[in-house]
Amino acid sequence: MRIRLDIAYDGTHFRGWAKQPGLRTVQGVLEAALARIVGSDVQLVVAGRTDAGVHASGQVAHVDLDEAQWARVRTRHGQAASDPAGSLARRIRGVLGTYPDVTVSRTTLTPEGFDARFSAVWRRYRYRLADVASGYDPMRRHDTTTLRIDLDVEAMDAAAQTLIGLHDFAAYCKPREEATTIRTLLDYRWRRDAEGVLIAEVKADAFCHSMVRALVGACAAVGEGKLAVDDVARLRDELERTSAFKVLPARGLTLTEVGYPDDALLAARAEQTRARRDRDGSMAGTDAVDDE
């Protein structure tokens, strides 16, 4: 039985999503909570692995339960659950406690062919950046990066637009062995919100390691006047990591949404993504930001 989990977390005190021996991770905490409920170990498959300090409001994962585990979900205290899949989220939240830094907002039975990782067609991230004009809000210190400079948001937005499309983003990714850096950046824009904080919205079919934080760092350098608007595309096309800008901290980054095709296309999408990975040995289309 495959269950989809919709997940949110404050990444401040996690060492990223992926389970690591001796370290507190989102995957580790959630799998431990699920194991208490279903009576044995489980393994979560996630849409996009986030690195230490990165947050999520729209993360998606799935878990496969065997017959015995599903029986533990279907019944509780000898009573049959009316909506066992839906009630699982409430039970997980009960295990996690009153004020956890990770929660499961919803659990549902998945349509046939659904794979949280391989069926995804895009991921969306938001980056919050405060400058001198917006000021510092201590209540948002965990999800906002602060730079003590003035930033030109119009120039940053113009630079972001030059990066959209299918490109090799090697200059904006930490290299990983046998992993392609070719991605389709579907949308990238900057604005100021009602409080004056600079907000980046970044959407792509997938992201390679450190890509989002590098993209926002490059545009911040444009906003500060250290780079010209056209420099960010020029640096991209040079295909080499550069010291022309700083990769910004993880604290400002949040995974906000993962997009999936219609139910009838889920299996085909997953098969297509796996085939592409098998063919070129790459991670293309399979992982959101491992960043961060």
Catalytic residues: 51
Q: Are strands 122-130 and 145-146 parallel, antiparallel or unpaired?
A: parallel
Instruction: State which H helix or E strand residue 35 sits in.
Output: helix 26-38
Give dist(CA 207, CA 120) in Å, integer.
12
Q: Measure CA 235 to chain center.
A: 25
Q: Are strands 253-259 and 55-64 parallel, antiparallel or unpaired?
A: parallel
Q: Nearest to residue 212, comparing CAs of 131, 291, 153?
A: 291
> What single DSSP character describes residue 291?
-
3-state secondary structure of 276: helix
Range 25-31, long-range pairs (CB < 8 A, 24+ positions): 26/50, 26/56, 26/59, 26/102, 29/96, 29/100, 29/102, 30/5, 30/61, 30/92, 30/102, 30/104
Q: Nearest to residue 11, comparing CAs of 102, 130, 97, 127?
A: 102
- In DSSP terms, which residues pair with 227 in a beta bridge? none
251 phi and psi, to 5 degrees? -55, -25
